[in-house]
Amino acid sequence: MAKPKKTPRPKAETPKGFRDYFGAEVTERAEMLQKIARVYHRYGFDAFESSAVETVEALGKFLPDVDRPNEGVFAWQEDDDWLALRYDMTAPLARVYAQHRNDLPNPYRRYTMGPVWRNEKPGPGRFRQFYQCDADTVGTASMAADAEICAMLSDCLEEVGIPRGDYVIRVNNRKVLNGVLDLIFGFDSKSEDAVLSAVYDTEMQKDEVLRAVDKYDKFGREGVQLLLTTGREDASGDFTEGVNLTADQAATILNFVEARGASNATTIKNLEDLLGAAGRGLDGVEELRTISDLLLSAGYAEDQIIIDPSVVRGLGYYTGPVYEAELTFEIEDEKGRPRNFGSVAGGGRYDDLVKRFTGQEVPATGVSIGVDRLLAALHAKGRLDTQSAGPVVVTVMDRDRMSDYQAMVADLRNAGIRSEVYLGNPKNFGNQLRYADKRDSPAAVIAGSDEFDRNVVQIKDLILGAKIAETASLEEWKDRPSQFEVPRDQMVARLREILEK
Which residues make up the interface to RNA (CB under 7 A)?
16, 60, 62, 72-73, 87-88, 90-91, 118-124, 207-208, 211, 215, 218-219, 227, 234-238, 240, 314-317, 397, 427-431, 433-434, 436-437, 446, 448-451, 458, 460-466, 469-470, 472-474, 477-478, 480, 482-483
- What is the distance of C-alpha 234 from the center of its chain? 28
- Tally helices (H) and strands (E) across the chain: 18, 20
Q: How far is the CB of 188 from RNA (least distance, A)?
A: 23
Closest CA to 371 of 155, 91, 87, 160: 160
Q: How far is the CB of 95 from RNA (least distance, A)?
A: 12
74 in Cβ contact with 119 (< 8 Å) = yes
DSSP summary character for residue 61: S
Q: How far is the CB of 404 from RNA (least distance, A)?
A: 13
Q: How far is the CB of 427 from RNA (least distance, A)?
A: 6
- What is the distance of C-alpha 18 from the center of its chain? 15
Closest CA to 444 of 395, 406, 407: 395
| Interior angle at CA 484, CA 481 and CA 490, nearest 5 | 155
Q: Among positive and negative, which fits the CA dihedral 121, 124, 130, 133?
A: negative
Can you give 80-140 as a three-state secondary structure string?
A: CEEEEECCCCHHHHHHHHHHHCCCCCCCEEEEEEEEEECECCCECCECCEEEEEEEEEECC
* Closer Cβ to RNA, 130 or 300, answer by number: 130
Q: How far is the CB of 61 from RNA (least distance, A)?
A: 8
55 in Cβ contact with 81 (< 8 Å) = yes
* Closer Cβ to RNA, 328 or 428, answer by number: 428
| Interior angle at CA 247, CA 246 and CA 253, nearest 5 | 95
* Closer Cβ to RNA, 407 or 463, answer by number: 463
Q: How far is the CB of 7 from RNA (least distance, A)?
A: 13
Q: How far is the CB of 49 from RNA (least distance, A)?
A: 19
DSSP summary character for residue 397: S
Q: How far is the CB of 86 from RNA (least distance, A)?
A: 10
Can you give 442-495 as a three-state secondary structure string?
A: CEEEECCHHHHHHCEEEEEEHHHHHHHHHHCCHHHHHCCCCEEEEEHHHHHHHH
Distance from C-alpha of 462 to C-alpha of 456, rounded to nearest angstrom: 19
Q: How far is the CB of 486 from RNA (least distance, A)?
A: 13
